[in-house]
A and B are shown apart, each in its own frame.
Chain A
Amino acid sequence: MSEDQDNLYPLRKKMLKLPAAYKGAIEEILREGMNRELPGFFEDERENLDIGEVKTAWRNEEAQRQIQELAKTLGIDEKVAFDWSKKKIKY
């Protein structure tokens, strides 16, 4: 429920939402398997420094699929109300 709706219906019970700082982190993990995104800029830099392509889950769809499946098996997606089609936490 958004802020203005709160004002519109002052007596309605507030919905429990994840704190903002938690929400972003959990979304990233369910989406990418990592805690933040990888901008393309850093991929170019990796080439310049000659340390090879990034091997972690960012560019590894199989790893992302595994984490998402784990989240579904363990019921985490339901617990935080994760919308798989939008890849976002609903509230």
Chain B
Amino acid sequence: MADTDDQKVLFYDPELCSGCSYCMLACSYEHFKVLDYELSNLWIYPDPQRPFYYIGIHCSHCDDPICKAACPADAIIKGEDGIVNIDQNKCIGCRSCNIMCPISVPWKNLERRVSFKCDFCKGDPKCAKFCPTGAITVKTRKEARELANKLILKVEAKKK
């Protein structure tokens, strides 16, 4: 899909991440003005297979988002810039997107009774801005695809 190549997405590199989790705090502060790991739109987990490595889960703003397809209230929109967003005024809190997204990015805020997901911080991703190691960066979709392929090759080479 050549026409989406230039869209901006997040790219996470586990080789660089130190697990400091400040990205999660920055995300929760940006959206809810509190510091709370539970209210973040991305997650950093310890890698169960590699000690001292971490796994970052963040929205890919998919080309063909299944979260959007799953939403019965048409609350999920994919903008022209490629950003997939939930309109909280339309969301009915049914959790369909939470379940359908392959990596469960959308999550239901029990206090507000609607779902939230990464909104790319309206074009200025705070997680990337505050990441101290450069593990999360903003890349174009094309760059991100290439880098991700390289990462997979690296991991497979190590396994052999």
Direct A–B touching in the complex (beta carbon < 8 Å)?
yes
The residues of A with any CB-CB pair to B shorter than 8 Å are 16, 19, 21-22
Q: Which of chain A's residues have a CB closer than 8 A to the CB of B34? A: 19
Q: Are A21 and B35 in contact (CB under 8 A)?
A: yes
| Residues of A close to B33: CB separation below 8 A | 16
Top-6 shortest CB links A-B: A19-B35, A16-B33, A19-B34, A21-B35, A19-B29, A22-B35
Query: What is the minimal beta-carbon distance from A13 to any residue of chain B, in angstroms?
Result: 13
B binding-site residues for A, Cβ under 8 Å: 29, 33-35
Could you name 6 residue pairs across A and B whose Cβ atoms are closer than 8 Å? A16-B33, A19-B29, A19-B34, A19-B35, A21-B35, A22-B35
Q: How far is the CA of A16 from the CA of B35 in the complex (A)?
A: 12
> Using Cβ atoms and an 8 Å threshold, which residues of chain A touch B29?
19
Chain B residues whose CB sits within 8 angstroms of the CB of A16 once the complex forms: 33
Residues of B within 8 A of A21 (CB): 35
Please report the C-alpha to C-alpha distance between residue A87 and residue B35 in the assembled complex, in whole angstroms.
Answer: 24
Residue of A nearest to B29 (CB): A19
Q: Nearest chain-B residue to A16 (Cβ)?
A: B33
